Structures are given as structure tokens and as C-alpha cells.
Amino acid sequence: AQSVAQPEDQVNVAEGNPLTVKCTYSVSGNPYLFWYVQYPNRGLQFLLKYITGDNLVKGSYGFEAEFNKSQTSFHLKKPSALVSDSALYFCAVRPLYNFNKFYFGSGTKLNVKP
């Protein structure tokens, strides 16, 4: 079965410290990988994606993500967290065999404390 796992329901980090939000996937082939952020009572906003090429991709608001093919992971990172980064983060995977199918992780609540 195809699946996306975000093992942490919540991640707590102090402002200014680096943050990591984990994502692993089990999807056939070499899927496309995405990260989205959701603020309260809002839809999902696209942050970044991995399609091919360099394993480290950079996205909006200073976020980046590292793709690891052997571990089938796509962890979201930021060198220095801001309080305003506090939100719900979703990892999503699009398989090559169905371009209109997205598999979402369960979401990780990021809390950045001043």
C-alpha cells in the first residue's frame, strides 16, 4: 500500500534553533515530493518540491528539504526557526503513475517558542 509517514505529531523548538520535520514514504517508483504548510483555518500553502537533481531543495520562507532515496525520506529543515513558523506541516507525494493522486502525511504541528 502507498503511504506517507510523518512520525512526529508535534515538534517543539526554540526560536533561532534549527528545526527538522520528518517525512518518509512508501510509494512505487520515483515519485514527486512536496511540503505544504497550513495556518489555522486556512488551506495548504506550497513550500517546496523535489522532482529530480540535487538532493537538497530550497523553498519559501527559508525552508529547505533533503531527499534521501535509499531511506525514502524527505525531511523538512530550516537553519533558524522563527515564531511565525509555528503551523501545521504536511508532506505529500505524487506518484508518477497517477499525476492527479496525492498522498498526504498525517501532519506535524511545529511549535516555535520565543
Partner 1 sequence: GAVVSQHPSWVICKSGTSVKIECRSLDFQATTMFWYRQFPKQSLMLMATSNEGSKATYEQGVEKDKFLINHASLTLSTLTVTSAHPEDSSFYICSAGLEPGQGVDQPQHFGDGTRLSIL
**Contact footprint for partner 1 (CB under 8 A):** 32, 34, 36, 41-46, 49, 51, 90, 92, 94, 96, 99-100, 102, 104-107, 109
What's the rounded Cα separation, in Å, for the pair 65 and 35?
8
Nearer to partner 1, 15 or 44 (CB): 44
Which C-beta is closer to partner 1: that of 44 or that of 82? 44
- For residue 114, what is its C-alpha cell? 520565543
The DSSP string of 25-65 is EE-SSS-EEEEEEE-TT--EEEEEEE-SS-SEEE-GGG-EE
Minimum distance, C-beta of residue 46 to partner 1, in the bound complex (Å): 4
- Whole-number minimum distance, CB 80 to partner 1, in Å? 25
